[in-house]
A and B are shown apart, each in its own frame.
Chain A
Amino acid sequence: MKFPAFSYACPTSLAEAIELLNDDEDSRPLAGGQSLLPMMALRVAAPRMLVDLGNIEALRQSVVLPDSMRIGAMATHAMNAASFDIWMHFPLMAQALHHVAHQAVRNRGTFGGSIAHADAGAEMPLVVSALDGVLLLDGQSGQRTLPASEFFQGHYTTAIEPGEILTGVEIPFSDMDWAFEELSRRPGDLAIAMVAAGVSVEDGVCSQARLMLGGISDHPIRAVEAETYLIGRELTPNVIRAAAGMSAAGIHARSDTHASADFRLSLATTLMRRALTQLATGAI
């Protein structure tokens, strides 16, 4: 478990980093290294060149805008977990961060790294998808943005082009209430199944709903049918049960060492019901 040989650069500007990445097509950005370095030690990945993003100050910064917040790609999970702005504006994210790894890993692992890595069991891709985040990319041919729904394509697969860097995610403020539920084998493990549920309730009925499932399929999935069903309905136990059942219907679930597809679908229903129940009862 020793790294294969590679060269290493630690630029201080984004432009420099992009240039370095494009100089060598076998190069990879290095963020917190919590996923990439183990893969290299196991020799599953062997990039010739690592471009460390750690010294690019701009990538670490997060800014609160009038209607949204831009979170820097290089903000660590620990920074985000301690961020008052995130706690205020995105309680969903604050909740989900409790489930990301352990303190030592959160101290190094980054928001952007997690999103770029796109593990199907990772929390941040689900959060960003649920909150309609817009992914900010920068590369040789300039900047571009992508909605989360187009960004996450599969387990370890995203729309990032070779040579591109994810600089951050802009997340609009949400006026919904949010709940998060997850099951993993041990506290801090990647999720077997997780859900993010957001609702607004007006005059006793649901006026807005956003239901997302993570870990079930190879990328975050939106339960559109269940969302539609909730609109105009009161969040009674029966309605919740029906919506939860609908949310998992028809999903092509993945199956691995820890959970079969059937089990994942059953978990999706359970976790969605629990999340909606939390929202209905205010028991967050």
Chain B
Amino acid sequence: MSKSEIAQIRPKSIGTSIPRREDPGLLTGRARYIADIVLPDMLHIAILRSPVAHGRIRHIDVAAAQAMPGVELVWTGQDCVARCPGITSSLEQAGFAVTVQPLLAHDEICFVGEGIAVVVAHSRAQAEDALERIDVDIEELPVVTDALTAVDGADLANAAVASNMIYHSNRVTDPVDEAFASAALTVEGRFKTPRVNASPMETRGFVASHDWTSAALTCWSATQMPSFIKTMIAIFLQFPEQNLEVITPAVGGGFGQKAHLHPEELLVCMLSIELGRPVSWIEDRQENLFRAPQAKQQLNEMALAVDNDGRFLALRDRVTTDSGAYNSLPWTPLVEGHAGILVATDPYRISALSAESLSVATNKCPIGAYRGVGFSAPTLAREVLIDRAARKLGLSPFEIRRRNVIRQEDFPYQTRAGMMIREGSFLETVDRLEAMVGYEDFRKRQQEARKEGRLLGLGISIFSEISGIGTRALNFLDYPLTSHDTATVRVEPTGKVTVTTGIVTSGQGHPTTLAQIAADAFGIPVEDVTILAGSTHHAVGFGTVASRSAVFGAGTIGRAAEIVRGRMRAVAARLLQATSDEIEMAQGLVHVRDDPGRGMPFAAVAGAAYFAEATHPEDFDPALEATAAFDPSDIVLANGGHAVIVEIDLETCMARVEKMYAVEDCGRMINPMIVEGQIRGGMAQGVGMTLLEELIHDDRGQLTTSTFQDYLLPTSRDIPDIEISHLETPSSLVPGGIKGMGESAMISTPAAVAGAVNDALACFDVAIEQFPASPQRIFEALSEAAVLDGASLPN
């Protein structure tokens, strides 16, 4: 049977907002996070991190550190490289530049914050004290900080990356010149999204405990990808995989940042093996800002050709990703601009696409995944351009989108990048958003406000989201990887259900939603289901990334449950004197179809399978337990849209969000409350990225926003009311019609905020293309347009 087979699940608990079963532990502080893992004899590490962005280690002296109180061991890069050369990250694509990131630099240092040495001590404080005694002599090398000039520059950010070019692609090269030449209107811009840090409330962390008596290595990791981490430890450290367990405790947010193999994780394993004692690394906030994978820094040079009726003719985009000094694993920088450019046209009918992507090495922290990765930036560029075209043509921003979105009659629609869109509610999304915003009224209000010197702006974004990313989606995005999950489902003798899954949670509510799925697969109450997760001794999972867990949860649990259901049906058929095909399960009963009177409790059938051989059919396999894999047969596409209203104070140049709206179509919702939680959190992050957050590096590669005093996360006071509306277009590829949605708000809210800022300033013909739209940037734009001196508002 195929791994993409779609099991039958009849929604009952699915679709209801039951409270999250994990919340009592999380809300009362009883859940155990990585920093709560305390083991006998455990040691702590601190890492000396490079103060320079590019250099060569001439000499390093750790003797004084070694002699400090409480210090057990000090290692430099030389000690590490002998045991593990580093994290090799490559992709099988022609011209892709492989990098090897040492666990600690032993020769070349490529960014500020790169590890140079590690101290293992009895406490973190002692380890930090000892760090100050390490003497390093670094020869400084020229620093590459600007991805654009790096391409032709003489200086290399990383000696292993020729011309600083990690990957250059012209995957889609439709001829567009003619369309642009004949277009009634061309809108174009150079859109810069900031380098940001996902800033989960809990930083990264890893504990390893090597037991020499059993040769077992047990690890605890605040990770989104435990199965992957386990296999990578086995490969990079040549450690027998059967003796490895990676446990995921409660994780305080990941957002993609914890979906990588980090050098520190391998380092902690090696140290525990070396010392025969548990070793803990709990990253602090400053390390997190310097060294946790950074995200989203792209330049999109985009142009859209539009005809007189506002129809889109062609899109051209050249995206440059500021990739940092090494390729992250497994994503590499392709996860940013390159992945993004392949969906640049998505919710719209655009018949010609010319897409070029460049991933360029710089002396900065490696770029990695962060919610909506890749997609936020091109969506922002495209949607701002669409608004601009609408203004030039005198169309409403809703109308221009209505004229271009993929409609019912277009399905299945193949995008120019090659993605097949089977279903969606793009047109309904535009209509729904327009009604929610009250467009006509908004324009009147905008006029009125201008008279008072207040600039209101409305931004809209329509998106589609590649969710439930499996093998097909990864291959489409140029990752030659395979990605499936497994789940094991067992019906216990008393009719309770235990599910073991490879899906780990970092706060999204999986223990609840997966239980809802399993309950509906068997037609039993959700309270009767237990979800076991969080250890690689359980099932296998690719990771909680790319909005995939709802899809893979439903797929794997559905398929495994179907196998077990088949066996239970056989027993029930015998007991109820019917055929297996006639047996159904619903409301805690196993009964003959259309005849609930001819039935028995679910638990009775389970009991019979375990304890009453006389009830078994011939050749009966009594294992009420099955493991199954799932990988959807194609891309599972969710869609929706966002609208944002901002107000800009013309004189202080401060933009504040007044109101936000979301329309989400993630197929059938498992738990609407959780869906809405995902939307609200993602929208807050979207506001952060477009108005507040920015990791700023100076021209020497120094991070100048190195604490939360300067790296500005949105607080509750920066986030206004959010109004949410749902559409439900079920997926035909996933049991229950479910689709993923975890990233949607971060894919498209930035575009809506950016659009709103531009709409507010459009009356002055002022455009903002670099984000965040800080007061400083708005001030500069308005000054350049000589708006501020006059300060009289056009009507």
Q: Chain A interface (Cβ within 8 Å of chain B)?
A: 1-5, 38, 42-43, 183, 185-190, 192, 257-260, 262-263, 266-267, 270-271
Given contacts A186-B692, A186-B718, A263-B776, contact A2 B128 (CB under 8 A): yes
Contact check, A5 vs B129: say whether CB atoms are below 8 A apart: yes
Contact check, A263 vs B715: say whether CB atoms are below 8 A apart: no
Closest to A274 in B: B651
Q: Complex: how many Å from CA A115 to CA B534? A: 50
Contact check, B652 vs A183: say whether CB atoms are below 8 A apart: yes
**Binary A-proximity of B754-795 (CB < 8 A = 1, otherwise 0):** 000000000000000000001110011001000010000000
In the complex, chain B residues 251-299 whose Cβ is within 8 Å of any chain A Cβ: 284-286
Residues in A whose Cβ lies below 8 Å from that of B780: 263
Q: Does B653 contact A (CB under 8 A)?
A: yes
Q: Complex: how many Å from CA A28 to CA B779? A: 41
In the complex, chain B residues 677-693 whose Cβ is within 8 Å of any chain A Cβ: 692
Residues in A whose Cβ lies below 8 Å from that of B779: 260, 262-263, 266
Contact check, A263 vs B775: say whether CB atoms are below 8 A apart: yes
Residues in A whose Cβ lies below 8 Å from that of B718: 186-187
Q: A187-B715, A187-B717 are in contact. List 13 more A-B contacts (CB 8 A).
A: A1-B284, A1-B286, A5-B125, A5-B129, A185-B775, A186-B692, A186-B712, A186-B714, A187-B718, A259-B776, A262-B779, A263-B775, A266-B779
**Binary A-proximity of B703-718 (CB < 8 A = 1, otherwise 0):** 0110101101011011
Contact check, A188 vs B717: say whether CB atoms are below 8 A apart: yes
Residues in A whose Cβ lies below 8 Å from that of B651: 266, 270
Contact check, B704 vs A257: say whether CB atoms are below 8 A apart: yes
Show 28 residue pairs from A and B whose CB-CB distance is below 8 angstroms, ordered by the A residue. Answer: A1-B285, A2-B128, A5-B129, A43-B128, A43-B132, A183-B775, A185-B692, A185-B712, A185-B774, A186-B692, A186-B714, A186-B715, A187-B717, A187-B718, A188-B717, A192-B775, A257-B705, A257-B710, A258-B774, A258-B775, A259-B775, A260-B779, A263-B775, A263-B779, A266-B651, A270-B651, A270-B652, A271-B652
Q: Complex: how many Å from CA A222 to CA B710? A: 28
Q: Complex: how many Å from CA A2 to CA B717? A: 30
Q: Which 4 A-B pairs have the closest CB atoms?
A: A2-B125, A1-B284, A270-B651, A187-B717
Residues in A whose Cβ lies below 8 Å from that of B704: 257
Contact check, B775 vs A188: say whether CB atoms are below 8 A apart: no
Q: Does B168 contact A (CB under 8 A)?
A: no
Closest to B713 in A: A186
Residues in A whose Cβ lies below 8 Å from that of B576: none
Residues in A whose Cβ lies below 8 Å from that of B717: 186-188
Q: Complex: how many Å from CA A183 to CA B653? A: 10
Residues in B whose Cβ lies below 8 Å from that of A183: 652, 654, 775
Contact check, B712 vs A263: say whether CB atoms are below 8 A apart: no
Q: Complex: how many Å from CA A5 to CA B68? A: 13
Residues in A whose Cβ lies below 8 Å from that of B712: 185-186, 189
Q: Complex: how many Å from CA A250 to CA B464? A: 53
Q: Complex: how many Å from CA A3 to CA B776? A: 35
Q: Does B84 contact A (CB under 8 A)?
A: no
Residues in A whose Cβ lies below 8 Å from that of B123: 2
Residues in A whose Cβ lies below 8 Å from that of B710: 257-258
Q: Does B603 contact A (CB under 8 A)?
A: no
Q: Does B696 contact A (CB under 8 A)?
A: yes
Q: Complex: how many Å from CA A42 to CA B284? A: 10
* Least distance between A83 CB and chain B CB atoms (Å): 24
Contact check, B128 vs A42: say whether CB atoms are below 8 A apart: no
Q: Complex: how many Å from CA A260 to CA B653? A: 13
Residues in A whose Cβ lies below 8 Å from that of B125: 2-3, 5
Query: Residue among A190, A263, A270 with the most chain B CB within 10 A?
Result: A263
Residues in A whose Cβ lies below 8 Å from that of B696: 257
Q: Chain B interface (Cβ within 8 Å of chain A)?
A: 123-125, 128-129, 132, 284-286, 651-654, 692, 696, 704-705, 707, 709-710, 712, 714-715, 717-718, 774-776, 779-780, 783, 788
Q: Complex: how many Å from CA A166 to CA B769? A: 48
Closest to A38 in B: B707
* Least distance between B3 CB and chain A CB atoms (Å): 46
Contact check, A267 vs B707: say whether CB atoms are below 8 A apart: no
Closest to A1 in B: B284
Residues in B whose Cβ lies below 8 Å from that of A4: 128-129, 132
* Least distance between A118 CB and chain B CB atoms (Å): 16
Contact check, A260 vs B776: say whether CB atoms are below 8 A apart: yes
Cross-chain contact of B652 among A1, A187, A267 (Cβ < 8 A): A267
Q: Complex: how many Å from CA A257 to CA B780? A: 14
Q: Complex: how many Å from CA A137 to CA B255? A: 50
* Least distance between B272 CB and chain A CB atoms (Å): 21
Query: Residue among B714, B717, B776 with the most chain A CB within 10 A?
Result: B776
Residues in B whose Cβ lies below 8 Å from that of A5: 125, 129
Residues in A whose Cβ lies below 8 Å from that of B705: 257
Contact check, A2 vs B124: say whether CB atoms are below 8 A apart: yes
Q: Complex: how many Å from CA A46 to CA B706? A: 19
* Least distance between B458 CB and chain A CB atoms (Å): 23
Q: Complex: how many Å from CA A2 to CA B704? A: 21
Q: Complex: how many Å from CA A207 to CA B68? A: 67
Contact check, B776 vs A258: say whether CB atoms are below 8 A apart: yes
Q: Complex: how many Å from CA A183 to CA B717? A: 15
* Least distance between A194 CB and chain B CB atoms (Å): 11
* Least distance between A280 CB and chain B CB atoms (Å): 17
Q: Complex: how many Å from CA A192 to CA B779? A: 13
Q: Complex: how many Å from CA A186 to CA B718? A: 7
* Least distance between B201 CB and chain A CB atoms (Å): 15
Closest to B126 in A: A2
Q: Complex: how many Å from CA A216 to CA B382? A: 38
Q: Complex: how many Å from CA A190 to CA B712? A: 12
Contact check, A42 vs B692: say whether CB atoms are below 8 A apart: no
Contact check, A42 vs B715: say whether CB atoms are below 8 A apart: no
Query: Residue among B652, B705, B707 with the most chain A CB within 10 A?
Result: B652
Residues in A whose Cβ lies below 8 Å from that of B132: 4, 43
Q: Complex: how many Å from CA A38 to CA B286? A: 11
Q: Complex: how many Å from CA A271 to CA B649? A: 12
Q: Complex: how many Å from CA A258 to CA B775? A: 8
Q: Complex: how many Å from CA A222 to CA B256? A: 49
Query: Residue among B125, B696, B705 with the most chain A CB within 10 A?
Result: B125
* Least distance between B119 CB and chain A CB atoms (Å): 12
Closest to A2 in B: B125
Closest to B653 in A: A263
Q: Complex: how many Å from CA A43 to CA B127? A: 13
Residues in B whose Cβ lies below 8 Å from that of A266: 651, 779, 788
* Least distance between A161 CB and chain B CB atoms (Å): 28
Q: Complex: how many Å from CA A259 to CA B778? A: 11
Residues in B whose Cβ lies below 8 Å from that of A190: 709
Q: Complex: how many Å from CA A42 to CA B707? A: 9
Contact check, B715 vs A188: say whether CB atoms are below 8 A apart: yes
Residues in B whose Cβ lies below 8 Å from that of A192: 775
Query: Residue among B285, B651, B707, B715 with the most chain A CB within 10 A?
Result: B651
Residues in B whose Cβ lies below 8 Å from that of A258: 710, 774-776
* Least distance between A99 CB and chain B CB atoms (Å): 12
Q: Complex: how many Å from CA A266 to CA B653? A: 10
Residues in A whose Cβ lies below 8 Å from that of B709: 189-190
* Least distance between A33 CB and chain B CB atoms (Å): 15
* Least distance between B197 CB and chain A CB atoms (Å): 15
Residues in A whose Cβ lies below 8 Å from that of B652: 183, 267, 270-271
Residues in B whose Cβ lies below 8 Å from that of A270: 651-652
Q: Complex: how many Å from CA A159 to CA B341? A: 58
* Least distance between A281 CB and chain B CB atoms (Å): 14
* Least distance between B465 CB and chain A CB atoms (Å): 29
Query: Residue among A1, A43, A270 with the most chain B CB within 10 A?
Result: A1
Q: Complex: how many Å from CA A259 to CA B653? A: 11
Residues in A whose Cβ lies below 8 Å from that of B692: 185-186
Residues in A whose Cβ lies below 8 Å from that of B128: 2, 4, 43
Q: Complex: how many Å from CA A242 to CA B124? A: 58
